[in-house]
Amino acid sequence: MRILRIETWREDIPLSRPYEIAFRRTEAVGNCFVRIIPSSGSPGLGCAAPEHHVTGETLDDCEAALDPGSLDWLINQDVRELPRLLRQLDGHLPDTPAARAALDMALHDVLSRQLDIPLAAMLGQCHESLPTSITIGIMGIEETLEEAAEYIGRGFRHLKVKTGQRVEEDVERIRRLRARFGQDIALRVDPNQGYGVPDLKRFMEAVSDCGVEFVEQPLASDYDMRLLSPGLRDQLAADESLLSPLDALRLAAPPRACGIFNIKLMKCGGIHAARRIADIADLTDIHLMWGCMDESRISIAAALHAALASPATRYLDLDGHLDLGRDPASGGFTLENGVMRLDTGAGLGVTLSE
């Protein structure tokens, strides 16, 4: 089963709900799309959503890397030799992980469609479903409470709250959320590297009775989290400091730097690299969260398939498709009362809208 043709295109997509995090406000996003046409069977789909602030890859870099003229080396390759192709992909696109992720998931999609099984089954599915968090950007406290009430009304029970600008306001935000919605709602916090060490310690002490599930990348990505106490490290999730399997090895080396890895396909370059990170986590008793950028259902589905096939997976944060003003794809999974389940279709289970 050989690759006959690769089609790529870019779409600029407005957000239905713009948001703010510690270092910027986002009102629209760009995604690059891939369709791999094989000699037999169904095409495979992929999506790239680069994040320049995290990986250095711009949308223009991504689009250039996915120019069909740069992908001639894949034409006539046999998709059944998937591991070899994925190793070669690393060498051809070393500096554009989102572009690499789009091709990686499209190749996985083609092969699992040919086998007529869901990708998660091909990877060794071990979870049936998991709840995802939904993200509340930085906004006024009353607006935060209103948005939280909306999401809880829609069935979500895990809220990820963006923080990182003013510690005192962040503390009040968390305490007000807990007081308003009680203990049945899980609260996760993401300062996006917005804290210094004194800020983090002050925040954690002030919300110690609020049942915060974990704190995602509170400090600069180059800060050595091993300088923190073991009890504090175990409550932290590595995000911007975790871009590759090599980073995973560094963070997991004793004494481990954190208790949770946040895997994003757009950071690490796709399912192949993500599964290597997941194996390191599994071997070192580090829990996994699977996150995303602002992405089409195509790549959200790819992350979900990989997550449900990883024993160390404990958390999902796969809400990046919800606020897209439009999405060229449909299917792949269901999201009901905050719980994500895969569709039963082959491959990613995703189709392009007509």
Structure tokens at 19: 């948001």
Report yes or no: 296 and 47 within 8 Å, Cβ to Cβ.
Answer: yes
Residue-wise pLDDT for 297-345, tens only, equals 999 999 999 999 999 999 999 999 999 999 999 999 999 999 999 999 9
Residue-wise pLDDT for 45-70, tens only, equals 999 999 999 999 999 999 999 999 99
Residue-wise pLDDT for 64-85, tens only, equals 999 999 999 999 999 999 999 9
What per-residue confidence (pLDDT) applies to 354?
Answer: 60
Round to whole Å and give the CA distance between 102 and 33: 7
What per-residue confidence (pLDDT) applies to 269?
Answer: 98
The phi-psi region of residue 64 (left if phi > 0; otherwise alpha if psi is between -120 and 50; otherwise beta) is alpha
Which residues 6+ apart lie within 8 Å of 207 measured at CB?
Answer: 171, 174, 175, 189
What per-residue confidence (pLDDT) applies to 162?
Answer: 96
Largest CA-CA distance found in the chain, in angstroms, rounded: 60
Residue-wise pLDDT for 253-301, tens only, equals 999 999 999 999 999 999 999 999 999 999 999 999 999 999 999 999 9
What per-residue confidence (pLDDT) applies to 22?
Answer: 61
User: Is residue 23 predicted with pLDDT exceeding 70?
Assistant: no
CA 101 to chain centre: 11
Residue-wise pLDDT for 90-140, tens only, equals 999 999 999 999 999 999 999 999 999 999 999 999 999 999 999 999 999
Query: Count of alpha carbons within 13 Å of 338, Cβ hemisphere only?
Result: 21
How many helices (H) and strands (E) the chain has is answered by 13, 16
Q: How confident is the model at residue 26 (pLDDT cuts 50, 70, 90)?
A: confident
Q: How far is CA 266 from CA 182, 299, 302, in A?
A: 34, 9, 11
